[in-house]
């Protein structure tokens, strides 16, 4: 969902005069100063291209003499003032110079593409902005909120980008900034544009918030589905599927009750574990050759839906995972994530563990168990030596249903997860 | 702002400005701080002679006035010789100048620093002011990741809370076997100094009560200076540069406070041969626990910051058994992450008394659902008020659990009988009973979650259809 793109589209329409209709009663804007050599784009007949310096009054400069509220670039978040600090004159940065008044528009001329832009509202007394801002109030021909939106538009950002200087500290000079042309509609139309934009942006905010909540809920739901699956509540138990035999000693304490045909077992009873080892870059190949198998380094090579992204091969493989193994990222980025090896033989490096099933369990259910224990594994990895250790995995206590029930559970989980994905996309 | 505060603020500001200038010349902050310490000491020695007509602690020819006479390369020579001679002295001077070496290679910058120090009169400053000043510089250094000195630094609010509950009394000895810049010792000093006006006790407090060791010369210098500026150990520093683990302590201590270094003992360190230890290990913190167990007098009290693995690691089981059987391990404070310089390390404070058996271990869980960060939400002393109240330092029999199985299963303060703990596999003391607060969503049933998701989808669709009208076909 690209909410930012939607906002950009709306702004673009607004400054082209296509968001609200023109009204002959609004009159025609009078040209002030020079027109651009060539119009950047066509405007409605009643609009004009006018340089900023003809429309705004830059803020006065001063050296702070009493306590003041300081606005620097980091004080703007999401186009709003946030986290300004109160300073004493003795601690004033040398950049604190511009006297800000209620309703002024601030535009960061340093790294302008970051769009640190805001309208100064609800100010305390004595507010001073950094010289990193073009700080301006508007003349009668310009609504400060309309100006605020124009400065946020992609058109203006691109314009400014073309004029910025410096590589490590890219900035546009105030002179260049105020020389930029902006499209100016009649004042009444400006107000209508602003109202329309505010309404539409509020709608987008609502949608965005709902979307974020949707993602949180989907996460919760996925967890609940997993939990129900592991507790034996997702599919009914069938008498003809028999009863699981206890493997290893039965645990004294169990986390929760499971169906009677199931057993609590330790992971080491139902799988074996192979650790990975790094290989010297000199034996890695960028192209597959005969007898070479893929080399899986770590999290970066396991895709979002658990597929293997193969970029390198080796013909000197030593620690080999086979098809049907569950691969677990035990170190580094993506720690705790799992993927089913459906590819075949691959060499695994140090950041991966291959967990191989025994006959009592199917790979997909093994994968489910590890996903269910994700948090346990992640917190085990927070020790003095970060990373999941062999014993962290092998000592996990897990519920084990009969194999045929496992097949049904896995299918049901897959079906439900698809539904959740469908809802939250 | 009072005059002294203003003065302190202006000097602090100047110290930072100089730090920036020095950094420009390639002198790192920690290096700058040590050089500042050396020079400050010499200047104060000079003032002692001038104002109090005392005799100088520094040998003739290597004093402040001798530095002032020189400029340029000659100044560098004089300074380097001074450091060399003084590092071989005994007593306080030798400790302050432990392994001292010059790190400011440009004479111009050295002159700048000397000129700055020469302008101020330090000795006449109130002891608390110059102590606070130096301490604030050390703290800042402790927060500075680049300098790497943060690893020596225990957050002061935690130090103060530990001192408050262990409650050292004037007349008692206090030892920190891994003292860093002296945070625990100074906090203990501040805690005790107003307890009595008795001159003998005060003298004891200033000269004999406090003892610290550290293995790093740099922090020994800073720690000693820190104590000196606070008026502790005017003749010989209470802090020694040595490896605490190497030999059995000669003098036992009534109180031990420490945050020993975490991790494995550095390879290449001298091997530890300690018949008094229960187990042989490379694990630094297990070694320090054993050292502290020996170091305590009978009836002596300890408060020690330790990582989680001390509570559960297999190797440590015999140590934990001892702590429960021959010590009274009465309290374990579980700390959250985000309060130390080292990221993600989970720590605890163990409080124990030597020579009694443990009946109950009281756990205070200040970890579950607690989130701190060094910058945006740092730990303050106030955060630990509830723990200090629960601890009942003056009479531990008054302790009352806030945990209750039925009415308050998430109470932070809960006791476990030692008998039960001894039966646990590996005498594992790593216990939590609180459950992390669930978000509102996590408490919903699956049907409710589905329902809410459908509502959200509706909101999004409504918003989109409205926007679509504005944007017509472009969405």
Q: Which residues of B touch A (CB under 8 A)?
A: 262-263, 307-309, 344-346, 439, 441-442, 444, 446, 449-450, 452-454, 456-457, 459-460, 463-464, 466-467, 470-471, 474-475
What integer pLDDT is reported at residue B342 of this predicted model?
67
What integer pLDDT is reported at residue B127 of this predicted model?
60
pLDDT (tens digit, 9 = 90+) per residue, A209-221?
A: 999 989 988 988 9
Which residue would you say has higher pLDDT here, A83 or B242? Answer: B242
Q: How many CB atoms lie within 10 A of CB B151?
A: 17
Q: How many CB atoms lie within 10 A of CB A42?
A: 10
B211's enclosing H/E stretch is strand B210-214
Pick B453's closest partner by Cβ from A217, A223, A383.
A217
Nearest Cα residue in chain B from A214: B453
Q: Inspect the interface and report whether the beta carbons of A383 and B446 lie closer than 8 Å.
A: no
How many angstroms separate the CA of residue A220 from the nearest CA in chain B?
A: 6
Nearest Cα residue in chain B from A20: B470
What integer pLDDT is reported at residue A384 of this predicted model?
54
How many angstroms separate the CA of residue B465 from the nearest CA in chain A?
A: 10
In angstroms, the CA A93 to CA A130 distance is 8
Q: Inspect the interface and report whether the beta carbons of B467 and A210 lie closer than 8 Å.
A: no
Nearest Cα residue in chain B from A202: B463
Which residue would you say has higher pLDDT here, B170 or B374? Answer: B170
Q: Inspect the interface and report whether the beta carbons of B467 and A204 lie closer than 8 Å.
A: yes
pLDDT band at B1 (very low <50, low <70, confident <90, very high): very low
Query: Residue B395, exposed/middle/buried by CB under 10 A (0-12, 13-18, 19+)?
Result: exposed
DSSP labels for B59-93? -TTSSHHHHHH--HHHHHHHHHHHHHHHHT--HHH
SS3 B172: coil
Mean pLDDT of B262-279: 82
Pick B471's closest partner by Cβ from A10, A206, A213.
A10
Bridge-partner residues for B360, per DSSP?
B417
pLDDT at B138 over 70: yes
Phi/psi at A2 (nearest 5 deg)?
-105, 90
pLDDT band at B4 (very low <50, low <70, confident <90, very high): low
Q: Inspect the interface and report whether the beta carbons of B456 and A9 lie closer than 8 Å.
A: no
Q: Could you tell me what percent of chain A has a pLDDT over 90?
A: 68
Please give the ipTM for the structure prediction.
Answer: 0.75
In angstroms, the CA B217 to CA B290 distance is 24
pLDDT at B27 over 50: yes
- Chain A residues inside the 8 Å CB shell of B307: 384
Mean pLDDT of A67-79: 91
pLDDT band at B236 (very low <50, low <70, confident <90, very high): confident
Least confident of B15-24, B140-149, B215-224, B406-415: B140-149
- Chain B residues inside the 8 Å CB shell of A19: 470
Phi/psi at B408 (nearest 5 deg)?
-150, 70
Which residue in A217, A229, A335, A424 has the most chain B C-beta atoms within 10 A of its own C-beta, making it the best mutation to test that interface? A217
pLDDT (tens digit, 9 = 90+) per residue, A152-183?
A: 999 999 999 999 998 888 999 999 999 999 99
pLDDT at B440 over 90: no
What integer pLDDT is reported at residue B154 of this predicted model?
84
In angstroms, the CA A222 to CA A230 distance is 12
In angstroms, the CA B308 to CA B312 distance is 7
Q: Inspect the interface and report whether the beta carbons of B454 and A423 lie closer than 8 Å.
A: yes
Bridge-partner residues for A339, per DSSP?
A327
Q: Which of B257, B210, B260, B258 is nearest to B233 (CA)?
A: B210
Mean pLDDT of B434-439: 74
Least confident of A184-198, A382-396, B65-79, B132-146: B132-146
pLDDT band at B448 (very low <50, low <70, confident <90, very high): confident
Least confident of A379-383, B203-207, B434-438: A379-383
What integer pLDDT is reported at residue B475 of this predicted model?
44
Mean pLDDT of A63-80: 92
Write b or e for each residue in B50-76: b if 16 or more Cβ atoms lie within 10 A of its Cβ, otherwise e: eeeeeebbbeeebbbebbeebeeeebb
Mean pLDDT of B322-346: 88
- Chain A residues inside the 8 Å CB shell of B346: 382
Q: Could you tell me what percent of chain B has a pLDDT over 70?
A: 93
Q: How many CB atoms lie within 10 A of CB B11?
A: 19
Which residue in A384, A415, A422 has the most chain B C-beta atoms within 10 A of its own C-beta, making it the best mutation to test that interface? A384
A49's enclosing H/E stretch is strand A48-51
Pick A217's closest partner by Cβ from B441, B460, B474.
B441
Which residue in B264, B435, B452, B463 has the most chain A C-beta atoms within 10 A of its own C-beta, making it the best mutation to test that interface? B463
**Contact indicator for B315, B286 with CB cutoff of 8 Å:** yes
Which residue in B264, B467, B472, B474 has the most chain A C-beta atoms within 10 A of its own C-beta, making it the best mutation to test that interface? B467
Which residue would you say has higher pLDDT here, B233 or A139? Answer: A139
Which residue in B312, B456, B474 has the most chain A C-beta atoms within 10 A of its own C-beta, making it the best mutation to test that interface? B456
Mean pLDDT of B80-91: 92
pLDDT (tens digit, 9 = 90+) per residue, B30-72?
A: 888 889 989 989 998 898 888 888 788 899 999 999 999 999 9
Least confident of A48-52, A338-342, B381-385: A338-342
Which residue would you say has higher pLDDT here, A337 or B136? Answer: A337
pLDDT at B19 over 90: no
Kindly report the CA angle at A299 between A304 and A399, in degrees rounded to 5? Answer: 75
DSSP state of B99: T
What integer pLDDT is reported at residue A305 of this predicted model?
77
pLDDT (tens digit, 9 = 90+) per residue, B392-414?
A: 999 999 999 999 888 888 899 99
- Chain A residues inside the 8 Å CB shell of B263: 384
Which residue would you say has higher pLDDT here, B400 or A425? Answer: B400
pLDDT band at B433 (very low <50, low <70, confident <90, very high): confident
Q: Which of B362, B369, B365, B367 is nearest to B412 (CA)?
A: B365
pLDDT (tens digit, 9 = 90+) per residue, B252-270?
A: 999 999 999 877 777 677 7
Mean pLDDT of B372-398: 90
Helix axes A154-163, A3-15, angle to 10 degrees: 90
What integer pLDDT is reported at residue B13 of this predicted model?
78
Q: What is the mean pLDDT of chain B?
A: 87
- Chain A residues inside the 8 Å CB shell of B308: 383
pLDDT band at A100 (very low <50, low <70, confident <90, very high): very high
**Contact indicator for A238, A405 with CB cutoff of 8 Å:** yes
Mean pLDDT of A344-367: 93
pLDDT band at B5 (very low <50, low <70, confident <90, very high): low
In angstroms, the CA A49 to CA A51 distance is 7
What integer pLDDT is reported at residue B216 of this predicted model?
84
Pick A210's closest partner by Cβ from B309, B449, B460.
B460
Q: Could you tell me what percent of chain A has a pLDDT over 70?
A: 99
How many angstroms separate the CA of residue B116 from the nearest CA in chain A?
A: 20
Q: Inspect the interface and report whether the beta carbons of A220 and B441 lie closer than 8 Å.
A: yes
Q: Which residues of A touch B (CB under 8 A)?
A: 1, 6, 9-10, 13, 19, 196, 200, 203-204, 206-207, 210-211, 213-214, 216-218, 220-221, 223-225, 228, 382-384, 386, 423-424
Pick A218's closest partner by Cβ from B446, B453, B471.
B453
Most confident of the ranges B114-118, B168-172, B222-226: B168-172
pLDDT at B472 over 70: no
Pick B449's closest partner by Cβ from A10, A200, A224.
A224
Mean pLDDT of B375-380: 83
- Chain A residues inside the 8 Å CB shell of B470: 10, 13, 19, 196, 200
In angstroms, the CA B111 to CA B244 distance is 38
How many angstroms separate the CA of residue A272 from the nearest CA in chain B?
A: 24
How many angstroms separate the CA of residue B340 from the nearest CA in chain A?
A: 14
Q: What is the mean pLDDT of chain A?
A: 91
């Amino acid at each position: 969902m690209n909410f930012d793109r939607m906002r950009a589209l709306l702004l673009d329409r607004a400054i082209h005069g296509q968001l609200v209709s023109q009204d002959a009663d609004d009159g025609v804007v009078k040209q002030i100063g020079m027109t651009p050599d060539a119009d950047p784009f066509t405007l409605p007949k009643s609009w004009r291209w006018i340089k900023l310096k003809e429309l705004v009054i830059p803020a006065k400069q001063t050296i702070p003499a009493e306590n003041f509220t300081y606005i620097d670039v980091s004080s703007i978040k999401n186009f709003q003032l946030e986290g300004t600090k109160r300073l004493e004159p003795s601690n004033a940065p040398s950049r604190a110079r511009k006297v800000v008044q209620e309703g002024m528009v601030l535009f960061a001329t340093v790294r302008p593409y970051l769009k640190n832009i805001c309208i100064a509202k609800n100010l305390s007394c004595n507010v001073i902005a950094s010289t990193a801002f073009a700080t301006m109030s508007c003349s009668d021909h310009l609504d400060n909120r309309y100006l605020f939106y124009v400065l946020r538009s992609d058109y203006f950002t691109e314009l400014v980008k073309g004029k910025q200087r410096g590589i490590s500290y890219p900035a546009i000079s105030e002179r260049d900034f105020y020389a930029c042309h902006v499209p100016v509609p009649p004042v009444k139309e400006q107000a209508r544009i602003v109202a329309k934009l505010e309404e539409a942006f509020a709608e987008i905010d609502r949608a965005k918030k709902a979307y974020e909540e949707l993602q949180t809920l989907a996460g919760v739901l996925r967890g609940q589905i997993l939990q129900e699956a592991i507790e034996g509540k997702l599919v009914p138990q069938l008498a003809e599927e028999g009863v699981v035999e206890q493997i290893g000693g039965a645990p004294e304490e169990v986390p929760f009750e499971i169906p009677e045909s199931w057993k609590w077992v330790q992971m080491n009873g139902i799988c074996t574990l192979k650790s990975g080892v790094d290989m010297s870059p000199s034996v890695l190949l960028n192209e597959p050759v005969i007898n070479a198998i893929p080399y899986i380094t770590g999290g970066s090579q396991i895709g979002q839906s658990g597929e293997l992204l193969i970029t390198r091969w080796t013909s000197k493989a030593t620690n080999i995972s086979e098809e049907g193994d569950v691969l677990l990222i035990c170190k580094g980025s993506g720690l705790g994530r799992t993927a089913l090896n459906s590819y075949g033989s691959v060499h695994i490096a140090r950041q991966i563990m291959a967990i191989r099933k025994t006959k009592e369990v199917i790979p997909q259910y093994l994968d489910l168990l590890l996903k269910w224990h994700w948090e346990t594994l992640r917190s085990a990895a927070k020790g003095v030596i970060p990373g999941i250790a062999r014993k962290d995995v092998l000592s996990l206590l897990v519920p084990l249903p009969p194999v045929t029930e496992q097949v049904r559970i896995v299918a049901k989980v897959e079906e439900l997860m698809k539904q959740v994905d469908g809802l939250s996309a | 702002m009072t005059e002294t505060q203003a003065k302190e603020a202006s000097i602090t500001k100047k110290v930072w400005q100089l730090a920036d200038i020095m950094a420009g010349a390639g002198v790192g902050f920690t290096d700058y701080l040590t050089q500042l310490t050396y020079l400050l000491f010499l200047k104060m020695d000079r003032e002692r002679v001038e104002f109090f007509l005392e005799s100088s602690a520094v040998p003739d020819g290597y004093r402040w006035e001798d530095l002032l006479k020189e400029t340029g390369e000659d100044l560098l020579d004089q300074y380097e010789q001074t450091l060399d001679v003084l590092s071989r002295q005994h007593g306080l001077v030798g400790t302050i100048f432990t392994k001292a070496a010059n790190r400011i290679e440009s004479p111009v910058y050295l002159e700048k620093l000397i000129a700055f120090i020469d302008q101020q009169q330090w000795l006449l400053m109130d002891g608390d002011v110059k102590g606070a000043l130096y301490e604030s510089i050390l703290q800042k250094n402790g927060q500075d990741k680049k300098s790497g000195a943060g690893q020596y630094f225990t957050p002061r609010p935690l130090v103060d809370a530990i001192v408050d509950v262990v409650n050292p009394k004037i007349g008692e000895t206090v030892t920190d076997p891994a003292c860093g810049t002296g945070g625990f010792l100074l906090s203990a000093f501040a805690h005790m100094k107003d307890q009595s006006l008795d001159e003998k006790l005060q003298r004891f407090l200033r000269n004999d009560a406090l003892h610290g060791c550290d293995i790093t010369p740099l922090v020994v210098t800073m720690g000693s200076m820190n104590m000196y500026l606070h008026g502790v150990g005017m003749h010989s520093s209470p802090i020694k540069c040595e490896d605490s683990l190497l030999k059995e302590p000669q003098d036992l201590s009534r109180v031990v406070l420490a945050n020993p270094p975490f991790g494995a003992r550095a390879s290449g360190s001298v091997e530890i041969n300690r018949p008094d230890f229960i187990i042989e290990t490379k694990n630094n913190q297990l070694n320090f626990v054993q050292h502290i167990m020996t170091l305590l007098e009978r009836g002596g009290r300890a408060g020690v910051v330790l990582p989680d693995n001390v509570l559960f690691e297999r190797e440590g089981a015999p140590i934990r058994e001892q702590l429960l059987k021959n010590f009274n391990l009465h309290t374990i404070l579980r700390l959250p992450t985000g309060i130390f310089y080292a990221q993600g390390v989970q720590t605890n404070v163990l409080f124990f008394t030597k020579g009694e058996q443990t009946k109950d271990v009281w756990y205070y869980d200040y970890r579950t659902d607690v989130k701190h960060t060094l910058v945006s939400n740092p730990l303050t002393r106030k955060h630990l008020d509830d723990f200090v109240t629960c601890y009942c330092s003056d009479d531990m029999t008054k302790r009352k659990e806030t945990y209750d199985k039925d009415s308050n299963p998430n109470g932070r303060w809960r006791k476990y009988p030692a008998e039960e703990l001894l039966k646990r596999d590996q005498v594992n003391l790593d216990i939590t009973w609180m459950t992390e607060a669930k978000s509102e969503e996590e408490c919903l049933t699956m049907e409710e979650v589905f329902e809410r998701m459908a509502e959200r989808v509706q909101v999004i669709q409504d918003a989109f259809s409205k926007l679509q009208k504005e944007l017509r076909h472009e969405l």
